[in-house]
A and B are shown apart, each in its own frame.
Chain A
Amino acid sequence: MKYFLITIIFLFSFETFADDKINSKVIEISKNLRCLVCQGQSINDSDSDFALDVKKLVKKNLEEGKTDKEIYSYLKLKYGDWILYKTPFNLRTILLWLLPIIIILFGMKLIFRRTKFE
């Protein structure tokens, strides 16, 4: 029983963490990635195999000196925009970003029309 529980609990080996800066960078990047196999969690929040793999990959890439941009675009290549919680601004998301601005401007116009300036 004891060992069964331990084997379930204990995770796959990680190499020892060396650099604090890289660690906080890993957290920052993996917060902006979606864990695709777990319903609506970020990679950082998840402990699924998939999330652990991606975290390790991000760390490895950072240690090899790759930039955030390169890491994001590599993962985007493999999994599409879906993996990016940092929603990009492009043709597909143009309405997502602009609609709120249009709404507030339109609303201000409506209020101005009903306002008496003395």
Chain B
Amino acid sequence: MKKNKKLFFLFITTLVVSTIFVFVVLTNQKHLPSATIGTIIEPLNGYLVTDIKQEKILLNRKFKNEKFIINIFSSWCVPCREEHKYLLKLKNNNIKVVGINYKDNKRNMSIFLKELGNPYYAIVNDKDGYQSIKLGAFGVPETFIIDENKKIVLKQIGPIDDSVYYKFLKVIAK
């Protein structure tokens, strides 16, 4: 009698424990969590490095009632080259892309943009990485969609590809 109870217990525990572990292994993706999604972005301050205007940019004041994109890039970052054509496409669709130039120098950046084209509405210089931290970024490239209320609604870690691009268009059209 007591043995049967133990056996029953053994079967149940084995079943439960193995289900949990299998579930953990199968659903385990090493996604980086994004705490900043849904939060309102902090004003970015850095120097605008494009030819638009030489002034401190406070993104809260610009972009009234429109969605826009923030893209962290650098001339020394190889995947940034891969995603560049998608940024140009976004620009051609009249979507404003703000670039955050991460740990780069101005000369290398202008060569990079001359070679591949300039998709950016404005570029913020992020010499020490603080602007990227404000967005909760881990490195380059990373791309964020900001909605009308200055909320981060989407975050892409790593380069943009076809599927990410269409996802972006969908979110912005909403």
Contact = CB atoms under 8 A, between A and B. Distances in A.
A–B direct touch in complex (beta carbons closer than 8 A): yes
Classify the interface of chain B: helix, strand, loop or mixed: loop
A75 B136 CA distance: 8
A26 B138 CA distance: 20
A70 interface: no
A53 B130 contact: yes
B78 to A, nearest CB: 14
B17 interface: no
Contacts, number: 45
A56 interface: yes
B136 A53 contact: no
Given A36-B138, A37-B138, A53 B129 contact: yes
Interface residues of B, number: 16
B142 to A, nearest CB: 11
Nearest to B39: A77
21 contacts: A12-B103, A37-B32, A37-B138, A37-B139, A49-B103, A53-B128, A53-B129, A53-B130, A53-B132, A53-B133, A54-B133, A57-B133, A75-B133, A76-B35, A77-B39, A78-B133, A78-B135, A78-B136, A79-B33, A79-B136, A80-B33
Interface of A: 12, 36-37, 49-50, 52-54, 56-57, 60, 75-80, 82
